[in-house]
Amino acid sequence: MNVYDSARMADVLAPLGYVSSSGPDGADMVILNTCHIRERASEKVYSELGRLRKIKKARTGSNNKMVIAVAGCVAQAEGEEILRRAPYVDIVLGPQTYHRLPEMVALATRASDKRNGNGNGILDTEFPVSSKFDHLPVENSSQGISAFLSVQEGCDKFCTFCVVPYTRGVEFSRPIEQVFEEAQRLVKKGAREITLLGQNVNAYHGKNETGSEVGLSYLIERLSEITGLDRLRYTTSHPKDMDESLINSHGKVGTLMPYLHLPVQSGSDRILAAMNRRHTAEEYLNIIHSLRKARPDIALSSDFIVGFPGETEADFEATIALIKEIKFSQAYSFKYSIRPGTPAGMLNDQVDDSVKNERLAYLQSVLLEQQNDYNSSKIGKELPVLFERQGRHEGQLIGRSPYNQSVSVNDAPADLIGAIRNVKIDSNLSHSLGGKVVEHGGLGSSAVNGNSL
């Protein structure tokens, strides 16, 4: 979502004459768009600011001044603290106020001579009543072949470990037509795949033409009408909001790719309850079962947290058992990280770091083996690959399989970028696949078992 937000900030600033630069040297403004989800992510902000301070200082007194802004969730959570610890920061803005960047920049550049880097930076971390999406300009930048589109933001779930409800605010969905029009514009600019984004994307709700409440499955079906939009994905989902109609979309909507990232966090009911996840391990397994019934080849991914306060060896084993039962094609896993202000952060029975390290290493080894097995199972098969960009080597192209695997081919013409071609997979390169374009007739967006890939 920060990638999407950064592109939109660039759109907001374009009318002021700002264009993207490749790095901070020589730039008139640097915006750090930050993440607060785990301690490691938010720590990076201060070390990055230290680096920028030096560049800014070297330019003091010259005509080539630099505005420093901190955006995103660290800004939202620690706004005052940032201005105190780093008084050379000119602007601090939250994720819901970046449509107001032009005013902030005007104020900051006017005030910068007086301030001389000595405090009084601008702070705008409000949650405005009207949505930023109603004020953002039409997208200026192209996101390329595979684009992101934010459709939902914020969260009302309040999992006890998570800062999102505090930094991104309450759950909000954009109107269907607004999303539809943005998707059409993205396709006009060259996108052939769109990933719908939301912290809780499957909590998406909107109103159809007759004014009835509809969910994400309706939005997906509506977007699948867009000519030239060959692939749709959505992330991140919560198991509790995985309703029947969305599950059925996986069997019905040809453009919806057979891949789902569905975080479960733990396989222990005791820990799931302490996390306030509102479902059991069995309920999660039932969802997976229904998904596989609707779309037998669906590839599954998840998020795991090890070392949540009070997690015992038996709880951890329950997580491993769940992983072994489901078999994921890929996954993300993290050590529990205390987030200030969250209920779990205040619990006494925090797990030792050494135990967390041990559990994480073992869990990741099981997941890596599954990913490897999954990727190897595609060797010898032909997969329709959407080519997105050139690779590092001459003649190499990188694309994506329907199952969200990165696929590289050598000796392919660059004009295949943006096209879908069948690739015969011949190697498992551990985090990606290798193969050759099949010359006899590509698939394009034609039907395979009723599903256009």
Residues of the shown chain interacting with ligand SAH in the complex, contacts defined by CB under 6 A:
37-38, 161-162, 164, 199-200, 236, 238, 263, 265, 303, 305, 334, 336-337, 339
Residue 303, contacted partner among ligand SF4, ligand SAH, none, CB below 5-8 A by kind:
ligand SAH
Q: Does 216 bind ligand SF4 (CB under 6 A)?
A: no
Nearer Cβ to ligand SF4, position 78 or 153? Answer: 153
Q: Does 158 bind ligand SF4 (CB under 6 A)?
A: yes
Nearest CA-CA partner of 270 in 317, 333, 324, 325: 317
Q: Name the burial class of residue 152, with classes exposed (0-12), middle (13-18) and buried (19+) by CB atoms within 10 angstroms of its CB.
A: buried
How many residues lie near ligand SF4 (CB under 6 A)? 10
Phi/psi of residue 82, nearest 5 degrees:
-65, -45
8-41 in b/e form (b: 16+ CB < 10 A) is bbbbbbeeeebeeeeebeebebbbbbbbbbbeee
Q: Does 176 bind ligand SF4 (CB under 6 A)?
A: no
Contact pick of 38, 100, 115, 157 for ligand SF4 (by CB under 6 A): 157
Task: Report the DSSP beta bridge partners of residue 65.
Answer: none
Q: Do residues 178 and 145 lie in contact, with contact meaning Cβ atoms separated by under 8 Å?
A: no
- Shortest gap between Cβ of 3 and ligand SF4 (angstroms)? 17
Q: Does 165 bind ligand SF4 (CB under 6 A)?
A: yes
Contact pick of 1, 13, 164, 247 for ligand SF4 (by CB under 6 A): 164
Q: What part of residues 220-239 is at the interface with ligand SF4 (CB under 6 A)?
A: 238
Nearer Cβ to ligand SF4, position 105 or 162? Answer: 162
Q: What part of residues 180-199 is at the interface with ligand SF4 (CB under 6 A)?
A: 199
Phi/psi of residue 149, nearest 5 degrees:
-145, 115
Q: Do residues 8 and 98 lie in contact, with contact meaning Cβ atoms separated by under 8 Å?
A: yes
Nearer Cβ to ligand SF4, position 76 or 375? Answer: 76
Phi/psi of residue 428, nearest 5 degrees:
-105, 110
CB atoms within 10 A of CB 211: 6
Angstrom distance (rounded) from CA 332 to CA 306: 11
Half-sphere exposure of residue 254: CA atoms within 13 angstroms, side-chain side: 15
Nearer Cβ to ligand SAH, position 342 or 405? Answer: 342
- Shortest gap between Cβ of 301 and ligand SF4 (angstroms)? 15
Residue 339, contacted partner among ligand SAH, ligand SF4, none, CB below 5-8 A by kind:
ligand SAH
Task: Report the DSSP beta bridge partners of residue 92.
Answer: 70, 123
Nearest CA-CA partner of 342 in 77, 127, 96, 13: 77
Stretch that binds ligand SF4, among 153-161, 289-297, 386-394, 409-417 (CB under 6 A): 153-161
- Shortest gap between Cβ of 397 and ligand SF4 (angstroms)? 35
Residue 165, contacted partner among ligand SF4, ligand SAH, none, CB below 5-8 A by kind:
ligand SF4
Contact pick of 69, 74, 151, 162 for ligand SF4 (by CB under 6 A): 162
DSSP annotation of 276 reads T
Contact pick of 67, 155, 201, 288 for ligand SF4 (by CB under 6 A): 155
Contact pick of 200, 302, 370, 401 for ligand SF4 (by CB under 6 A): 200
Nearest CA-CA partner of 231 in 443, 414, 424, 398: 443
Residue 404, contacted partner among ligand SF4, ligand SAH, none, CB below 5-8 A by kind:
none
CB atoms within 10 A of CB 400: 24
- Shortest gap between Cβ of 200 and ligand SAH (angstroms)? 5
- Residue 179's alpha-carbon distances to 67, 197, 425, in angstroms, are 32, 11, 35
Strand order across the 122-124 sheet: 29-34, 67-71, 91-93, 122-124
Nearer Cβ to ligand SAH, position 123 or 298? Answer: 298
Nearest CA-CA partner of 386 in 344, 348, 318, 442: 442
Residue 305, contacted partner among ligand SF4, ligand SAH, none, CB below 5-8 A by kind:
ligand SAH
Residue 38, contacted partner among ligand SF4, ligand SAH, none, CB below 5-8 A by kind:
ligand SAH
Stretch that binds ligand SF4, among 59-67, 125-133, 158-166, 179-187 (CB under 6 A): 158-166
Residue 375, contacted partner among ligand SAH, ligand SF4, none, CB below 5-8 A by kind:
none
Nearest CA-CA partner of 21 in 55, 58, 60: 55
- Shortest gap between Cβ of 422 and ligand SAH (angstroms)? 34
Q: Does 95 bind ligand SF4 (CB under 6 A)?
A: no
Q: Do residues 327 and 401 lie in contact, with contact meaning Cβ atoms separated by under 8 Å?
A: no
Residues of this chain that bind ligand SF4 (CB under 6 A): 155, 157-159, 162, 164-165, 199-200, 238
